[in-house]
Amino acid sequence: MECEAEIGRLLSAGDLRSAAEATIRTYGSSVLGLLHRVLGQPELAEDAFSLFAEQLWSTIGTFQRRSSMRTWSFRLARNAAITVQRESWQRKRRRLFTTEAEQIAEDVRTRSALRLEMQSLVVARLAKHFSVDDQTLLSLRIDQRLSWEEVAEVLSSPGDEVCAPTLRKRFERLTEKLRQLARDEGLLES
C-alpha cells in the first residue's frame, strides 16, 4: 500500500507529526465508521474518535511496525471505543481538544458525517444486541475487509491473545445472529 509506505518513510525520518497526520487523514474515515457502528451513538463515536486521534498522536513514536499502521489504528480505535463506553467516561463527557490532532480529527469527522449518519440509523437498531468486541469483529471483517490475522491482532490484548480460527467460528455465529435479528426487524425476508 502506497499510504503505508509513505507513513513508514515519515516514521523512519523521525517526522512523527507528519506520520500522525498522514495516518489520521488516511485511515480516519474508516476508523470513524467503525466507531459509529460499534458505539451506535454519534456523540460517543465522536468522543472515541477524538480519543483515538489523541492516542495516535501521542503514541506514534512507540509504533513498532509489527503490524500495518491500518491495523494499529483500528486497535487504538477499539481501545477508545471501550474507554468511552465505560460509565465513568460517560459521566465526564468531555471532548478532547488538542491543537493539530483535534483539528485533523474534526476535518475527517466533518467529511464523513452524513454518510455515517445514514448507516448508523439502521445499524443502531441491531447493534444493541452485540458487545463492542463483537461489533468490532463484524465491522473489521465486513466493512474494512481486514484479514483474519489482522482482526485477531486488533482484538488481542496483552495476556489475552485471540487466534484467527477462533474468530472465524465466532464470526459465523455472529453473522447468523445478525441475519436472525434483521429478519425479526423486517429488514430481510425469511
Task: Compute φ and ψ for 160, nearest 5 degrees.
Answer: -140, 70
| Euclidean distance between CA atoms 134 and 132, whole angstroms | 6
Query: Does residue 129 sit within a domain?
Result: yes
Low-confidence stretches of the chain (pLDDT < 50) are none
In a domain, 189, yes or no: no
Quick: pLDDT tens for 152-178.
Answer: 999 998 888 999 999 999 999 988 888
The three three-digit cell numbers of residue 163, written as one number: 487466534
Is 190 among the domain residues? no
Q: In angstroms, rounded to a whole number, what is the distance separating the alpha carbons of residues 151 and 155?
A: 6
The whole-number pLDDT of residue 124 equals 61
Which pLDDT belongs to residue 185? 72
Total domains in the chain come to 1
What was the pLDDT predicted at 109? 63
- The closest of 165, 173, 154, 10 to 76, measured between CA atoms, is 154
Sign of CA dihedral 70, 90, 129, 116: negative
pLDDT for residue 165: 95
In a domain, 21, yes or no: yes
Domain range enclosing 10: 2-184
Say if 90 falls within a structural domain.
yes
SS (H, E, C) 50-111: HHHHHHHHHHHHHCCCCCCHHHHHHHHHHHHHHHHHCHHHHHHCCCCCCHHHHHHHHHHHHH
In a domain, 159, yes or no: yes
